[in-house]
Structure 1
Amino acid sequence: MLKRSEVKIEETWDLTPLFETELLFEEAVESVLGKAGEIEKEFKGKIVNAQDAVNVIAAYQSLYEALVPIGTYASLSLSEDQTNDEAQMRSAKVGQHYSKIGAQLSFITSELLLLDEAVLTEAKDLAPQFERYIDNLIRKKPYQLHPEAEKALAAFGTTFDAPYELYNTTKLVDLKFDNFEVNGESYPLSYNSFEGDWELESDTEIRRAAFESFSKKLRDYQHTTAKTYDTHLKIEKTDADLRGYDTIFDALLFDQEVDRELYNRQIDLITTELAPHMRRYAKLLQKEHGLEKMTFADLKISLDPTYEPKISIEESRQYMNDGLSIMGEDYQNMLDRSFDERWIDFAQNEGKSTGAFCSSPYGKHPYILISWTSRMNEVFVLAHELGHAGHFYLTHKEQNIFNSRPSLYFIEAPSTMNEMLMANHLLSNSNDARFKRWVISTIVARTYYHNFVTHLLEAAYQRKVYEIIDDGGSVNASILNKLKREVLEDFWGDTVEITEGAELTWMRQPHYYMGLYPYTYSAGLTIATQVSQRILNEGEPAVQDWLKVLKAGGTKSPVELAKIAGVDITTDQPLKDTIAYIGSLIDQLEVLSEEIASENV
């Protein structure tokens, strides 16, 4: 694995649009610290009428916009190489400054909520651009603590974030994998190489050996990781109790503007109704690969690995332009800029964060992290992250910083939509049975398996964990392993052998430190599946509705956003239709596989 200093610069992102020099970064930090002090001096204890409310919110908006690039720069420079001492210290320093500012300005929310609701309504009339911000404040009023308590909690901000930072340090800095051997040949192993390559390896001996070696090393860190996670859970539970929420679930779903019914439905329906379809898919994989038994380590292999082409970064650009052209000229320009201006970090290097993500700082262009393996399925990963980028590229142009971010429930709809658009494009441009099977199997294995199976089973497991915590219990490695294994066995039944090490997959996912996030992938993809079918059948009118949704940002609730796009998520029908659609894809794979097999006889 290359060190960060050894990778090609054209494969890295360019962070200079955030700050051209370290000196400018330091100056920006000093500036926001000064602004925070000025806001405190000017407004603390003096917010008594509607105009005061508008003035303090406007001042906070200006500060918030200045804070965003600082936090983004610190976060991204650490994500590209967690072993970098300078990046570690910078990130820690920014965290401390953010905690200080949070404590200093906690009075804003406290004092605004002490005003009569009629005064806040008048403030909305004076400044309609702050309506959403004020409405969200009013929603929080029942759970607001005494001003001094809020100040104390804000001061602990960076401390409360420590479990997530500890998790990443353990995973990406301390945890080192030994090479593994198969038939006398040695193979290198790392987090990124396992999740990006070895997990998808078509050679069964190599793939299973990599899984065994990977799991063995994870096991060495299971107790530390479990204790870190338990600490995070206790922080969430304590906060929920202090604020008077009935349960930890209510506290975590509050900001998502989603009730327990939508949350539970997503997990329960998929766990029961999708499982039979995915078991058929697992059996098809087993048959096509001639496996004596199907194990957990075999679930991510390609249905036809000899067909999957390798693809360069430059070739991926053409796929993005072709597959997403239906989104219009402005969107197309965004795609071109993302490559031309180095918004994307493709490099593989030591210490780099695993997986892929998109960071979209307000007032700046988005940034995407991905570790490019040259596998064709990376086209779907990149399309996914560019879906996030396109979403915030559009909403940031239309909305202020308070209105730009939608509910977490909706956040994965634009990303998974791009995967569906890419699939629609590829399928419409070929009648070759083998190519069609490859595209459909990629949709199932990458888009739906990742979002409707991997993340959904994480959500089912996470719900069991939170139930224990909500009842006043604790978790350790043994409990977490047991819960994870139970969820996997319930879903896969006797179709897939849940091999030793599968239970440790709870150690691999950072989403557990982000509240009730895992279930939102399937929620977003449910919306995306229905809208992509509308686009396929109706064309431009459906595209225009979707663009309206993207530009609306956080000005609407998830239910309202979905409704604009033509989907009613207050019922279970969109989810049932999506599960049926997945079943139809697997039907097609079975038919195409029979057709291809008969041609080869």
Structure 2
Amino acid sequence: MKSLPKRSEVTLEETWNLKDLYESEEDFNNALIELENEVNRFEEKFKGNIINPETIIDALQQYSAVYERLVPSGTYASLSLSTDQTNTEAQMRASKFGSISAKINSKLSFVNSELLELPTEVLELAIENCPPFQNYLQKLLIKKQYQLHPEVEKTLAALSSTFSAPYKLYDTTKMIDIAFDNFEVNGKSYPLSYVSFENDWESESNTELRRAAFEAFSSKLKEYQHTTAKTYDMHLQMEKTTADLRGYNSIFDSLLLNQEVDRTLYDRQIDLIMTELAPHMRKYAKLLQKVHGLDKMTFADLKISLDPSYEPKISIEESKKYIIDALGVMGKDYLEMVERSYKERWIDFAQNAGKSTGAFCSSPYGNHPYILISWSSRMNEVFVLAHELGHAGHFYHANSEQNIFNARPSTYFIEAPSTMNEMLVANHLLENSNDPKFKRWVISSIVARTYYHNFVTHLLEAAYQRKVYERIDEGLPVNANILNEFKRSVLEEFWGDDVEISEGAELTWMRQPHYYMGLYPYTYSAGLTISTQVSKRILNEGQVAVDEWIDVLKAGGTKSPVDLAKMAGVDITTEQPLRDTIAYIGSLIDELVQLTDEIER
């Protein structure tokens, strides 16, 4: 395994084309200057003048136009940094945008303040007279009780860059300061990095190499645990102070308000999975141990493939055929988007030093989506890419149907379209082969990639995160020792005596940026609960279910998560969809056990 190349050394065709946002640095800088001028003109025209339904509608129309111009600048600054965090020019560009954005948000903060100072009946008239802004105004009314004095709102908006500083500091520590040393096994040296560990070493079939990589990776993380914990505590204390200032009863209430769900749905997702999914996943862990002939099952062994010799290598071009075949059911428009994503370089496939880990999709309003992934030619990454194309397909439809304020749904729902695509890929692969080894590989991919990743990894993050927020709500700080203890206790509770929680496993809280995104981790399992049920409908009902799902994607953020799920035929106000999904995962693991017995016979 080689060390990662520099960004300047990777193939152009494997990188995304940011020129679709701005042709040059000069265009980016000019856009920022024009944007600031436009904001000044907007402030001059509307500040103190939003007084009746007519001026509300006029102001919101121009307000949305300003935000449409802000989006590409922020996207360009963010994406250019994510592909190489060591690039000084990209660092400066992102900092420059952060400062300008904070200034702009501060100047625009008067809009919501003035709207909420108006009598409710005036806002209700505006809601009645202007359907495109109904959603925006209704959500604003819900937040009315938590709105602060206009000058305070202006100050908080001006400090937005400061509030996002802990996340930036976390990323800087993770991607720039932490330099992994090579590790040795039997006198041979092997390179290590964040990307190589998460893409390769964590699933390495050689147990000695895998466990040595885990130990080396964890040892290096440990050196930075106190800085990372202090950074995270800063973020948490800012969230707590803001929630208190606004008059929320707890941080949970503050963060769940934007998700448009109550505490019941949040707690249910964590509690049911912690208790009812755990026995199924322990059975899966024991199966891995048996098949690989391991002396014991440790945390460092949980990401290995059930049959590593079977997983095919796959090129970027081959991945396209698999995805198009699997997503064919979604229709012509959807497939056109997938074709364009490859052809027009919406996807950054390259592996290079300084690139953000994992995968994500950014979907700037008024432009096409961008997907980041580090392609290592494993078939497993077809599922990852399908997942990100699910986000892309969601916003490709929502952005074209809705205005900028209506396009984005609650984060509770955000992972449903992405995990849906993973289910469609799995269903397609299963339909096209009766070979027991291939069938076992596909089912183990669903369990290990789709469900383990979304229903276990992210859910255990959520269970840990809940403990952290409960402590912060009591007015207490956190440090590395407390965070390690919380993480280890969650892992031990879930895996019981069936998996030895290796030393260093408690440090996995250092690896995820999700903790800087509010109550995000639990939404993966929430989205997958919905998509599991809808994918079953598509298998059983065909086009009717597909058409309803496309309508859900187009609806964007115009409905609550409960109503969006209902549009797709799933009632998440009850426990049933979650219990059905847990039972389905259990049935997949039972099938893996049976297939393994059959293959071994």
Match of 1:64 in 2: 67
1:115 aligns with 2:92: no
Residue matched to 1:170: 173
- Give 1:427-438 correspondences, 5 Å limit: 427-438=430-441
CA deviation string 1:459-478 (max 9, x = no partner): 00000000000000000000
1:195 match:
198
> Superposition pairs for residues 464-483 of structure 1, below 5 Å?
464-483=467-486
Which residue in 1 is equivalent to 2:565?
Answer: 562
Equivalence for 1:274: 277
Partners of 1:254 and 1:192 lie apart in 2 by 35
Residues 184-263 of structure 1 correspond to what in structure 2 (within 5 A)? Answer: 184-263=187-266
Distance 1:332 1:561 in 2: 23
Q: Which residue of 1 aligns with 2:268?
A: 265
Instruction: Give the letter aligned to residue 479 of structure 2.
Output: N
SS of match in other structure, 1:178: coil
Is residue 2:138 matched to residue 1:104? Answer: no
Partner of 2:598: 595
In the aligned structure 1, how far is the partner of 2:125 from the partner of 2:250? 34
Match in the other structure for 1:526: 529
Deviation of the 1:59 alpha carbon: 1.1
C-alpha displacement of 1:303: 0.1
Q: How does 1:137-152 map to 2 (within 5 A)?
A: 137-152=140-155
Tell me the distance in 2 between the aligned counterparts of 1:50 and 1:532.
43
Match of 2:488 among 485, 489, 503: 485
TM-score by length of 2: 0.99
- Which letter maps to 1:71? G
Aligned counterparts of 2:528 and 2:410: Cα–Cα separation in 1: 15
TM-score normalised by L of structure 1: 0.99
SS in structure 2 of the partner of residue 570 of structure 1: coil
Partner of 2:393: 390
**Could you tell me how far 1:45 is from its partner in structure 2?**
1.1
Choose which of 326, 339, 349 in structure 1 pairs with 2:329: 326
| Secondary structure of the structure 2 residue equivalent to 1:493 | helix
The residue identity in structure 2 corresponding to 1:477 is A
Deviation at 1:126, TM superposition (A): 2.6
**Partner Cα distance (1:48, 1:412) in 2:** 39
After superposition, the C-alpha distances for 1:35-54 in whole angstroms (9 at most, x for unaligned) are: 11111111111111111111
One-letter amino acid matched to 2:556: G
Aligned AA for 1:463?
R
Find out whether 1:547 has 2:581 as its counterpart. Answer: no
In structure 2, what is the Cα distance between the partners aligned to 1:374 and 1:184?
28
**Alpha-carbon distance between aligned partners in 2 of 1:127 and 1:24, rounded to the nearest angstrom:** 35
Aligned residue type for 1:170: T
Task: Provide, for residues 135-188 of structure 1, a one-character-per-residue CA deviation record: whole Å limited to 9, x for no partner.
Answer: 111111000000011011111000000000000000001110001111111111
Q: RMSD between aligned alpha carbons?
A: 0.5
| Corresponding residue for residue 181 of structure 1 | 184
Cα distance in 2 between the residues matched to 1:560 and 1:193: 41
Residue 125 of structure 1 and its aligned partner are, at CA, apart by 2.6
Shift of 1:127: 1.7
SS in structure 1 at match of 2:371: strand
Identify the residue that residue 445 of structure 1 maps to in structure 2.
448
> Hey, what's the Cα distance between the residues in 1 that align with 2:117 and 2:97?
31
Per the alignment, residue 298 of structure 1 pairs with: 301
Cα distance in 1 for residues equivalent to 2:223 and 2:334: 46
Q: Does structure 1 residue 125 correspond to structure 2 residue 128?
A: yes
User: In structure 1, the residue corresponding to 2:357 is in which secondary structure?
Assistant: coil
1:460 is aligned to: 463
Q: Name the counterpart of 2:58.
A: 55
Q: Which residue of 1 aligns with 2:79?
A: 76
Counterpart amino acid of 1:145?
A: L
Which residue identity is paired with 1:376? M
Tell me how far 1:124 sits from its aligned partner. Answer: 1.9
Structure 1 residue runs of 5 or longer lacking an equivalent are: none
Q: Distance in 1 between matches of 2:16 and 2:108?
A: 33
Q: Determine whether 1:414 maps to 2:417.
A: yes
Query: Sequence identity, in percent?
Result: 71
Deviation at 1:55, TM superposition (A): 1.1
Deviations 1:536-582 (A, max 9, x none): 11111010110010010000000000000000000000000000000
Query: Equivalent residue for 1:341?
Result: 344
Q: CA deviation at 1:385?
A: 0.2
Q: Which runs of 5+ in 2 are unaligned?
A: none
Q: Does the residue aligned with 1:394 lie in a helix, a strand or coil? A: helix
For 1:434 and 1:49, the matched residues in 2 are separated by: 68
Aligned partners of 1:595, 1:126: CA distance in 2, in Å?
Answer: 66
- Tell me which amino acid in the other structure corresponds to 1:94: F
Residue 377 of structure 2: SS of its match in structure 1? coil
Equivalent of residue 24 in structure 1, options 12, 24, 27: 27
Q: What is the CA distance between 1:18 and its match in structure 2? A: 0.3
Moved over 2 A (4+): none
Q: Which amino acid aligns with 2:545?
A: A
In 1, the alpha carbon distance for the partners of 2:8 and 2:408 equals 34
The equivalent of 1:289 in structure 2 is: 292
Structure 2 Cα separation of the partners of residues 68 and 103 of structure 1: 16
Distance 2:123 2:477 in 1: 41
Q: Secondary structure at the match of 2:414?
A: coil
Q: Which residue of 2 aligns with 1:160?
A: 163
Aligned residues: 598
For residue 420 of structure 1, give the secondary structure of its aligned residue in structure 2. helix
Separation in structure 2 between the aligned mates of residue 39 and residue 140 of structure 1, nearest angstrom? 24
3-state SS of paired residue (1:494):
helix
Amino acid at match of 1:298: D
Secondary structure in 2 matching 1:410: helix
Question: Partner letter of residue 67 of structure 2?
Answer: Y
CA-to-aligned-CA distance 1:219-276 (integer Å, 9 cap, x gap):
0000000000000000000000000001100000000001000000000000000000
- Name the SS of the counterpart of 1:23 in structure 2: helix
Cα distance in structure 1, aligned partners of 2:44 and 2:551: 41
Q: Secondary structure at the match of 2:184?
A: strand
